[in-house]
Copies of this chain bind each other. A is one copy, B any other.
């Protein structure tokens, strides 16, 4: 009987493979669940007792701000989800929702913590990831607040193209309203700015299908106001 965890990125990403006894602990205390586009995976305000690992798919990480929902970022598989909110607080401090059909592995928090304690390399890896992720969150926040919407929108389009879909042509995984929540703007502003980008021949849009025609212009817009 082969151990399912053995080839899972959850483990692979931690450079040093876990010992087989640790693998077994994970194996017997995890659950793999399928989620459909739109399904909530982690819900802010609920108890969290599981570490969540995204095996396949794309999700949005979002938090209830003082006035509206803010999308912190999109995350694509393979990656841990909600490590901070699972370890940092018994109650989820943010939500995670599938924006594409996704496959998720739930790992019992206590087991995860035990493996973390038993395996130095694994815990070093997790500490490193947490540090990087916090750095990233500082940078994101500085950009969001200082750039104006046009620049942030350009950033999102570039990120989707380069990192998420790795193509100049892709289908927007979220609504314009959510795009607004991701760049701290209203749905209407996003719409107007997208139209503008179309009129300027920088992108082509048909429904949610987007093609980036002029990446260089987008980069300029991202950098300047």
Interface residues of A (CB under 8 A from B): 63-68, 70, 72, 83-89, 93-94, 113, 116-117, 120, 123-124, 126-128, 130-135, 137-147, 151, 184, 223
Question: Of B66, B130, B134, which contacts A147 at CB under 8 A?
Answer: B66
| CB <8 Å contact, A142 and B65 | yes
Question: Of B83, B127, B142, which contacts A126 at CB under 8 A?
Answer: B127
| CB <8 Å contact, B138 and A93 | yes
Min distance, Cβ A192 to any Cβ of chain B, angstroms: 19
| CB <8 Å contact, B93 and A143 | no
Expressed in whole angstroms, the Cα–Cα distance for A69 and B93 within the complex equals 28
Q: Can you show 30 pairs from A to B with CB atoms below 8 A apart? A: A63-B138, A63-B142, A65-B143, A66-B143, A66-B147, A66-B223, A68-B146, A72-B138, A72-B141, A83-B131, A84-B130, A84-B131, A84-B132, A84-B134, A85-B131, A85-B135, A87-B127, A87-B131, A88-B128, A88-B135, A89-B131, A89-B135, A116-B124, A126-B127, A127-B130, A130-B131, A133-B134, A134-B137, A141-B141, A145-B145
| CB <8 Å contact, A70 and B145 | yes
| CB <8 Å contact, B117 and A124 | yes
Measured between beta carbons, the chain B residues less than 8 angstroms from A84 are 130-132, 134-135, 138
Say yes or no: A138-B135 contact (C-beta < 8 A), given A65-B145, A68-B146. no
Say yes or no: A141-B135 contact (C-beta < 8 A), given A127-B116, A146-B70. no
- Please provide the 10 A-B residue pairs with the shortest distance between their CB atoms, ordered closest to farther: A88-B131, A65-B142, A141-B141, A84-B131, A84-B134, A130-B130, A65-B146, A117-B120, A87-B131, A88-B132
